[in-house]
Structure 1
Amino acid sequence: MENTAAKTTLLDKFLNFIEKIGNKLPDPAILFLILMLATWFFSAILAPIDFGETDPRTGDKLWIQNLLTGPEMADFLSRMIGVFINFPPLGVVLLAMLGVGVAEHSGYINAGLKYLLSFTPEKLITPILILVAIVSHTAVDAGYVLVIPLGGVIFYAVGRHPLAGIAATFAGVSGGFSANFIPSAIDPLLQSFTQSAARIIDPEITLNPLNNIIFTGLSSLLVIGVGWYITDKIIEPRLQRTTAVDGNPEDIPAMEKLTASETRGFKIASLVMVAGLAGLFLWAYPTDSSLRDPDGEITSFTAPLMRSIVPLIFLLFWVPGILFGFIVGNYKSSTDVVQSMSKSMGSMSHYIVMAFFCALFIDAFGKSNIGALIALKGANFLQSMQLPGQITIVGIICLSAFVNLLVGSASAKWALISPIFVPMLMQIGISPDLTQAAYRVGDSVSNIITPLLPYFPLVVVFCQKYVKNTGIGTLVSIMLPYSIFLLITWTLFLLIYWALGIPLGLQSTYEYNMM
């Protein structure tokens, strides 16, 4: 795949500038180390200052924690191993990759892609990939490990730029994080914080956990449309002009037609996967199933099913992958299976190094309270402006998008700022349901441009499979148009949605009437 000569547009020049500046940053692992040291430095400077803020999570005064004291340094050293091992994305990525690695190296995933491409019109590949990426939210963070790399493989297989495929799926998985028509664990989690904040004003108020499900479902169509347009009309043409694929062809599967043995192996392996899913459904269906939480809920974060998503993904790919490998002859013995798992772990070596420093930085940044202070100061400033309801909703979206660049966890941010925004807007007649919907828009759109997203380094690694010199600046420059377009269009979508009075979700309202 070669670069094609074409006139450089103004957008190209801007994105090329972003890429050039971003790629001058150190390797992501070293960048996280520098950020951690900067956090230590500023925590020491800011610790003595009384900023006059109260932490809504505890009710105590919010102070910046000095991380450069003797006790804090001792605590840092004693917890270093635990912080690294317990870094949430690390276990998700490595365990899922063990199963996916077997399915990939046995040829099972490759066969599935061949089958998919045999009946999917090429012009619909982009929207279908984004749709799959959106649906993957139901499986918590599995979309980062499964769907994003497949976007690159599929685009490369049909002669398109693989980084455009990765960008499209990254936009669906992360930029469209709050767009989904299937309920997931994030719905009751955010609702719990919203309800707690609303009870500051109305102790009796109760919100439905699916109070935004219609809005997020219809938002899926918006994200698919925007992602489709940007991928095919902006990102891929730019990549074709500026970025040549120079990855190792041996690592990138070819897409010839399925052979007879591959067809037979794929059908048998897929039937086993379907049987596994059916068995899982029968296990989870009863109201007293051991896969449900004590209240009988199956989508809550405490439900064993939701806590088992990654192990289930491992099994659902590992078992069919082994079967396929032995049926088609790619595996001759158990040693071949172990070697394929080892190979998949070898490809994660760079990510593991980055994850080590990323885990230490995120732990230090959270412990310092610097991110919490920025979020509270921004929320209080917006409150002090006393703007009309529609403008305040836009302000919440923009502030959430900005804070998201510093604090990655959706629940952590909402725990901080919901006690300010929700009661504030209730007092001017805006419902908690609408306030939460605005937050969800802002929380999604900037995920894809912040290197502080725990999975951001992983996406860089996926890109390097095809373009070896991919850096942070490359990925940010690719994803920036998605972020900007989604911020603008999704905000307008919410305002129009509100004006038309379409229900946000179950038992939801737009207005709150003070008693």
Structure 2
Amino acid sequence: MEQAKNANNEASFVMRFLNNIERVGNKLPDPAMIFLGAMLLIWLLSWMLSGVSFDAIDPRTGEAIVVHNLLSGDSLAGFLASMVKTFTGFAPLGVVLVAMLGVGVAEHSGYINAGLKLMLKRTPQALLTPSIILIAIVSHTATDAGYVLVIPLAGVIFYAMGRHPLAGIAAAFAGVSGGFSANFIPSGIDPLLQSFTQSAAQIIDPEISVNPLNNWFFTSASSVFIILLGWYITDKIIEPRLASTKVDGDTNDLPEFNEVTSKERSAFYAASAVMLAGIGLLIYAASGEDSALRSESGALTDFSAPLMQSIVPLIFLLFWIPGAVFGFMVGTFKSSKDMIDAMSKSMNSMSYYIVMAFFCALFIAAFSKSNLGALLAIEGAEVLKAMALPSSVTVIGIIFLTAFVNLFVGSSSAKWALLGPIFVPMLMQLGISPDLSQAAYRVGDSSSNIITPLMPYFPLVVVYCQKYVKDTGIGTLLALMLPYSIAFLIGWSLFLLAYWGLSIPLGLQSSYIYPAG
């Protein structure tokens, strides 16, 4: 009896804590204004610190790091001259808008509606949450596809199943972003991080070679761990807390999950056959060793490979074409104008995100040009190095430092370009391999993705939530994602230590010690 009472008190404390996070967070200004305020703060700090000499060495240049004054005449003139290019060149903006054009055709034709209705018939409700998280994790293979496809569809699916749509969005966001370094399938991020790891390791050992899949076994095992942990948090913490949150958004344009008619079923299978034929044609085009879709080295998964650079246009085509086929077969599209109207509707829902993306792009550009992010990362790493902790504690320290830096510097590759040349040689001198250093970095990098409003896709997820709960703000999403972030950071760190303790290989040609035995 006493044990049950204590458990209820603990649960009540967690709920009160999350409610307070939501209440305080929602009192923050609009996300667009937060980005604007953060940019102005960066300008001020850059002016204050531009005359300070720092001993920290920038690993990218080999010289002492310098903070650039963004309030100088030249910097302000450059800011104005490049403002349009900074906005239009903001990578997440193009990814979202191009993908949503294709998704809009598939959605408003009824193709996605029919597919979801058929899928829901075959998915046991008890396995819905882990299925969503699994799909979210696998979506990393297609770079940013999870943000524009899996997360909003998870909300639709949960809503259709009579569950709270924000719980579905949270579960998918946790899988796509919180579990970014968990995946059964190798993706372009593996060779990208490996290239920085190898160059950093060669500072100590010019002959060392790091396999691009040196963390593959660990990321595969992590997928199972993240699915199970995310499943528990969604069903036992997030959804019970949302029970009193009323769905009051504009859900009129969401799919109605009535029975699939025979005409819709035939059209869906025909449209899906067209999609599969397109995928088959793509596989055939990429299979040849001299394929134009391969990189100069012949690899398909390198970031320089045209195939990897074409993921978003391919998403557009693989939804636009079957959506059009379905629409004309069932009659939702009578003419090409109906397709254009469908694409216009999808853009209407993105107007708020476009405004936020404008200020977000300006902030990220300012933070990068000022060098303040680099200074933060390098100084933090130097403090960790000076502490001279035991190997296991040092690895945990790297995970937590990475998670902290990730709150300010979003790009995974940019952070590792800064931290890798410090972490990897430092740990090699302690007998820890570059493979383990990279695995530790990936855990920390993923865990805090979902609680930083400065992450470019965070405002987009807020927009998804507002479709169901109109007054959703930054605090709402922070309160939803904080349990995942804390659990991933602590649980995944312990999982890595246990994995290391059992001496399970991290990946291909990997080791835990340096030099490898």
Write the mapping of 1:280-291 to structure 2, written as runs, cut at 5 A: 280-291=282-293
CA deviation vs aligned residue, 1:111-168 (integer Å, no higher than 9, x gap): 1100110111001010001000000000001110000001100000000000000000
- Following TM superposition, by how much is the alpha carbon of 1:407 offset from its aligned partner in structure 2, in angstroms? 0.1
Q: Which residue does the alignment assign to 1:462?
A: 464
Residues 443 and 493 of structure 2 are in contact (CA less than 8 Å); yes or no, is this contact kept in structure 1? Answer: yes
Q: Provide the C-alpha distance between the structure 2 equivalents of 1:25 and 1:102, rounded to a whole number of angstroms.
A: 36
Write the mapping of 1:85-96 to structure 2, written as runs, cut at 5 A: 85-96=88-99
Q: Provide the C-alpha distance between the structure 2 equivalents of 1:57 and 1:49, rounded to a whole number of angstroms.
A: 20
Residue 475 of structure 1 pairs with residue 477 of structure 2: yes
Residue 330 of structure 1 pairs with residue 332 of structure 2: yes
SS of 1:250 mapped into structure 2? coil
Write the mapping of 1:426-465 to structure 2, written as runs, cut at 5 A: 426-465=428-467
Query: What amino acid is the match of 1:492?
Result: L
TM-score, normalising length: structure 1: 0.98
Q: Provide the C-alpha distance between the structure 2 equivalents of 1:364 and 1:100, rounded to a whole number of angstroms.
A: 32
SS of 1:251 mapped into structure 2? coil
CA deviation vs aligned residue, 1:188-242 (integer Å, no higher than 9, x gap): 000000000100100000010000000001100011001100000000000113x
Write the mapping of 1:70-469 to structure 2, written as runs, cut at 5 A: 70-241=73-244, 243-469=245-471
Which consecutive residues of structure 2, in runs of 5 or more, have no partner in the other structure? 1-7
- Following TM superposition, by how much is the alpha carbon of 1:56 offset from its aligned partner in structure 2, in angstroms? 0.3
Q: Provide the C-alpha distance between the structure 2 equivalents of 1:47 and 1:142, rounded to a whole number of angstroms.
A: 39
Q: Provide the C-alpha distance between the structure 1 equivalents of 2:64 and 2:26, rounded to a whole number of angstroms.
A: 40
Residues 379 and 399 of structure 1 are in contact (CA less than 8 Å); yes or no, is this contact kept in structure 2? Answer: yes
SS of 1:249 mapped into structure 2? coil
Q: Provide the C-alpha distance between the structure 1 equivalents of 2:334 and 2:438, rounded to a whole number of angstroms.
A: 54
CA deviation vs aligned residue, 1:243-295 (integer Å, no higher than 9, x gap): 11001231222211211111011000000000000000000011111000011
SS of 2:320 mapped into structure 1? helix
Q: Which residue does the alignment assign to 1:42?
A: 45
CA deviation vs aligned residue, 1:404-457 (integer Å, no higher than 9, x gap): 000000010001011111011101111000000000000000000000100000
Residues 54 and 60 of structure 1 are in contact (CA less than 8 Å); yes or no, is this contact kept in structure 2? Answer: yes
Q: Which residue does the alignment assign to 1:3?
A: none
Query: What amino acid is the match of 1:420?
Result: I
Residues 138 and 185 of structure 1 are in contact (CA less than 8 Å); yes or no, is this contact kept in structure 2? Answer: yes
Q: Provide the C-alpha distance between the structure 1 equivalents of 2:40 and 2:451, rounded to a whole number of angstroms.
A: 22
Write the mapping of 1:22-41 to structure 2, written as runs, cut at 5 A: 22-41=25-44
Query: What amino acid is the match of 1:60?
Result: E
Q: Provide the C-alpha distance between the structure 2 equivalents of 1:215 and 1:502, rounded to a whole number of angstroms.
A: 8
Q: Provide the C-alpha distance between the structure 1 equivalents of 2:56 and 2:198, rounded to a whole number of angstroms.
A: 22
Residues 25 and 473 of structure 2 are in contact (CA less than 8 Å); yes or no, is this contact kept in structure 1? Answer: yes
Q: CA RMSD in A?
A: 1.1
Q: Which residue does the alignment assign to 1:488?
A: 490
Query: What amino acid is the match of 2:164?
Result: H
- Following TM superposition, by how much is the alpha carbon of 1:514 offset from its aligned partner in structure 2, in angstroms? 8.7
Q: Provide the C-alpha distance between the structure 1 equivalents of 2:177 and 2:186, rounded to a whole number of angstroms.
A: 16
* Alignment: residue pair count: 509
Q: Provide the C-alpha distance between the structure 2 equivalents of 1:80 and 1:432, rounded to a whole number of angstroms.
A: 39
Query: What amino acid is the match of 1:469?
Result: D
Residues 429 and 514 of structure 1 are in contact (CA less than 8 Å); yes or no, is this contact kept in structure 2? Answer: no
Q: Provide the C-alpha distance between the structure 1 equivalents of 2:146 and 2:110, rounded to a whole number of angstroms.
A: 20
Query: What amino acid is the match of 1:100?
Result: V
CA deviation vs aligned residue, 1:82-123 (integer Å, no higher than 9, x gap): 000000000000000000000001110111100110111001
Q: Provide the C-alpha distance between the structure 2 equivalents of 1:514 and 1:279, rounded to a whole number of angstroms.
A: 43
Residue 18 of structure 1 pairs with residue 41 of structure 2: no
Residues 106 and 324 of structure 2 are in contact (CA less than 8 Å); yes or no, is this contact kept in structure 1? Answer: yes
Query: What amino acid is the match of 1:150?
Result: L
SS of 1:25 mapped into structure 2? coil
Q: Which residue does the alignment assign to 1:9?
A: 12
Write the mapping of 1:51-70 to structure 2, written as runs, cut at 5 A: 51-70=54-73
Query: What amino acid is the match of 1:55?
Result: D
TM-score, normalising length: structure 2: 0.97
Residues 83 and 359 of structure 1 are in contact (CA less than 8 Å); yes or no, is this contact kept in structure 2? Answer: yes
Query: What amino acid is the match of 1:383?
Result: K
Q: Provide the C-alpha distance between the structure 2 equivalents of 1:83 and 1:301, rounded to a whole number of angstroms.
A: 22
Q: Provide the C-alpha distance between the structure 2 equivalents of 1:491 and 1:505, rounded to a whole number of angstroms.
A: 17
Q: Provide the C-alpha distance between the structure 2 equivalents of 1:342 and 1:383, rounded to a whole number of angstroms.
A: 53
Query: What amino acid is the match of 1:68?
Result: L
Where has structure 1 moved over 3 Å in runs of 4 or more? Answer: none
2:508 to 506, 509, 512: 506
SS of 2:64 mapped into structure 1? coil
Which consecutive residues of structure 1, in runs of 5 or more, have no partner in the other structure? 1-5
Residues 251 and 467 of structure 2 are in contact (CA less than 8 Å); yes or no, is this contact kept in structure 1? Answer: no
Q: Which residue does the alignment assign to 2:3?
A: none
